[in-house]
Amino acid sequence: MKREKYKRILLKLSGEALAGESGFGIDTDILDGIANQIKDLQAAKTEIAIVVGGGNIFRGVKGATKGMDRASADYMGMLATVLNCLALQDSLERKGVYTRVQSAIEMRALAEPYIRRKAVRHLEKGRVVIFAAGVGSPYFTTDTTAALRANEMNCQVLLKATSVDGIYSADPKTTPDATKFEEISYMDVLQKGLKVMDSTAITLCMDNKLPIIVFNLRKPGAMAQVVGGENIGTIVHN
């Protein structure tokens, strides 16, 4: 199946993707590599929106399992995403890429408040828009934020950047004979319990017919290949 080329995308980066092998904090070399890939896409006139997780700094659900109030833990997780977004913005702007960070939790000294029409206008002007602080409410993951913002921005695809080259029937790191899917339906992802994104995010994409492509961020040039329509990674669609 030949995939289409995409003009407007939403890129979902996990916080762990920024941490590298250490598993926590921000690895500046990895951040720089991600920024280079984004810069290349922008130079090719791709309109880019980004949602970044905060798991490299604090994960709300994990905090809740250790006795913290779930809502308080989730708000801390949202603040962690702001740190990652500001770090990514700094890396991009040092490369000459114009960006805007919009936060679902108002903090005007650091970021614009999230305003949908303003975000769309930034994209139309060629700026990279980075969405911080999730949806601004607890109990929602950054996967759900990515699905929501992608639909609000009228993106053509949601790109889920991971450390593996697609979706497998089991974790390929622990199950060497796991089968890779070239394409799979939303319903199969839900029914098989595949850990691609949480069920709310998958359902939101399914209801709005927004394709999801899961690919390996660490492969050089992977981002440009996916956006250019090459058959790498796994596509989730109807």
- H helices of the chain, in order, are 15-19, 28-43, 60-65, 70-93, 116-124, 142-152, 186-192, 199-207, 222-227
pLDDT in tens, 176-223: 899 999 999 999 999 999 988 999 999 999 999 999 999 999 888 999
pLDDT in tens, 147-173: 999 999 999 999 999 988 999 998 888
Distances (CA, A) of 117 to 11, 114, 204: 19, 9, 21
Length of the chain: 238
CB 79, CB 13: distance < 8 Å: no
| Average pLDDT rounded to a whole number, residues 53-74 | 82
pLDDT confidence of residue 38: 97
pLDDT confidence of residue 60: 62
Question: Could you tell me which of 170, 165, 176, 214 has the C-alpha nearest to residue 193?
Answer: 170
pLDDT confidence of residue 47: 98
The sign of the torsion formed by the CA atoms of 193, 219, 132, 117 equals negative
**112: phi then psi, degrees, rounded to nearest 5:** -70, 150
How many angstroms separate the CA atoms of 53 and 143, rounded? 8
pLDDT confidence of residue 224: 95
pLDDT in tens, 5-54: 999 999 999 988 888 777 789 999 999 999 999 999 999 999 999 999 99
Going along the chain from its start, the domains and CATH numbers come out as: 8-237 (3.40.1160.10)
Q: List all residues 6 or more positions away from 10 whose beta carbon is below 8 Å from its beta carbon.
A: 49, 50, 51, 146, 149, 150, 153, 155, 157, 158, 159
pTM of this structure: 0.94
